[in-house]
Amino acid sequence: MKATAGTITIESHLGPADDRSLAYDVLDGLTRPFKELPPKHLYDTEGSRLFEAICRLPEYYPTRTERAILAEHSGAIVAATGASELVELGSGVPTKTRLLLDAMRDAGSLDRYLPLDVSETVLRASAEHLVEAYPGLRVHGVLGDFERHLDAIPAADGPRLLVFLGGTIGNFTPGSRRRFLRALGRGLRAQDRLLLGVDLVKDPAVIEAAYNDSAGITAAFNRNILSVLNRELGADFDPDAFEHVAFYDRHREWVEMRLRAHAPQVVSIPGVGLTVHFAHREELRTEISAKFTRERIEADAAGSGLRLESFLTDEDRLFGVCVIASS
């Protein structure tokens, strides 16, 4: 009998230079007149734990809604593509992905799972778990940053699904979003599909509740970025001296998370040789999370050399899963 033991390969593309990425972003973002840090620094071990907790909050509809959409449509997506491999960007803990892998296994086409993530712990744990759950599965993990290491993903063996779930595409500004989609499109052959999870434009009250939960988990998640700077760069931020602010900007159709200084502050960040001043109520932006309409996705796809093939949503039109092909 053919051995059914799966195989695990993990390739690292992160080097010592990546320790400088936080330093560079801090130097760049905290010396601007409007202070800003990229949201990727929210996800250290504690931040990832808090994000998992956010996903279970009653106010935070995106995770459960996306899961329900995938539960309903995974079979049809797999049948239409005959996908044998699944590439997942920023895989994290792959819970929703299991719905797609199940459908691929049930269709008899499942061969390979290729997660790309910045956390080696997460990649190893999920690889080990998945080769157990899917006999014969090959897992090829890429330890890297999806903004820089798309080229490290091995070429496709069979029809491929490239998935970018959770609405993380919303963290890009509009211009960089199209550049990123274009880069994703370069790896997409005619038989492959990109599955893109997007949060949708809706009643601002619903959106704002999702980012201002009553348990204060999102506030802790936001403030945790200051603890990351304290630990990694020896900074002396007092996270309690900052207030969590999250609001929906109706004109830009995105949510912003900010940290607002309760009082004037002087913070030293020895790791980058910086002293940063905050005025009373001055704000530091830590995330934008864009909300989409079907029309916006169509325009972004067209502007990136791609085509929206189908748009899957829930009955309340809270969240969308876009099936995108090369054009």
Residue 232 CB, nearest approach to ligand AVJ (Å): 20
Quote the crossing angle between the two packed helices 120-133 and 97-107, to the nearest 10°: 30
Q: How many CB atoms lie within 10 A of CB 225?
A: 26
Residue 71 CB, nearest approach to ligand AVJ (Å): 19
Q: How far from chain centre, in Å, is Cα 91?
A: 8
Total residues at interface with ligand AVJ (CB under 6 A):
12
Nearest-5° Cα angle at 75, 74 to 79: 115
Nearest to 246 by CA among 215, 297, 284: 284
Do the beta carbons of residue 218 and residue 212 sit within 8 Å? yes
Half-sphere exposure of 29 (CA within 13 A, CB side): 18
Residue 197 CB, nearest approach to ligand AVJ (Å): 8
Residue 157 CB, nearest approach to ligand AVJ (Å): 30
**Applying CB under 6 A, does 84 fall inside the site for ligand AVJ?**
no
Spell out where the chain has E strands.
Answer: 7-12, 35-36, 85-89, 112-117, 138-143, 160-164, 193-199, 242-249, 254-261, 265-269, 274-278, 283-290, 306-313, 319-326
Q: Which of 164, 172, 211, 278 binds ligand AVJ (CB under 6 A)?
A: 211
**Applying CB under 6 A, does 92 fall inside the site for ligand AVJ?**
no
Q: Binding string, 170-189, against ligand AVJ, x = CB under 6 A?
A: xx------------------
Nearest to 326 by CA among 302, 300, 310: 302
The piece of 28-36, 69-77, 166-174, 291-299 that touches ligand AVJ (CB under 6 A) is 166-174
Residue 167 CB, nearest approach to ligand AVJ (Å): 4
**Applying CB under 6 A, does 218 fall inside the site for ligand AVJ?**
yes
Residue 168 CB, nearest approach to ligand AVJ (Å): 5
Q: Which of 289, 291, 300, 306 binds ligand AVJ (CB under 6 A)?
A: 289
Footprint (CB under 6 A) of ligand AVJ, residues 125-164: none
Q: Residue 34 class from Cβ within 10 Å (0-12 exposed, 13-18 middle, 19+ buried)? A: exposed
| Cα gap 38→239, rounded to integer Å | 17
Q: How far from chain centre, in Å, is Cα 63?
A: 12
**Applying CB under 6 A, does 320 fall inside the site for ligand AVJ?**
no
**Applying CB under 6 A, does 168 fall inside the site for ligand AVJ?**
yes
Residue nearer to ligand AVJ on the CB measure, 167 or 271 = 167
Do the beta carbons of residue 291 and residue 253 sit within 8 Å? yes
Residue nearer to ligand AVJ on the CB measure, 119 or 171 = 171
Nearest residue to the partner ligand AVJ, using Cβ? 289
Nearest-5° Cα angle at 84, 80 to 85: 115
Residue nearer to ligand AVJ on the CB measure, 159 or 167 = 167
Do the beta carbons of residue 225 and residue 47 sit within 8 Å? yes
Residue 63 CB, nearest approach to ligand AVJ (Å): 9
Q: Which of 94, 167, 271, 320 binds ligand AVJ (CB under 6 A)?
A: 167
| Cα gap 54→220, rounded to integer Å | 10
The piece of 16-24, 111-119, 167-175, 177-185 that touches ligand AVJ (CB under 6 A) is 167-175
Residue 235 DSSP symbol: -
Task: To the nearest 10°, report the CA torsion of 302, 84, 104, 145.
Answer: -60
Q: Binding string, 31-70, against ligand AVJ, x = CB under 6 A?
A: -----------------------x-------x--------
Residues that bind ligand AVJ (CB under 6 A): 54, 62, 166-168, 170-171, 211, 218, 257, 287, 289
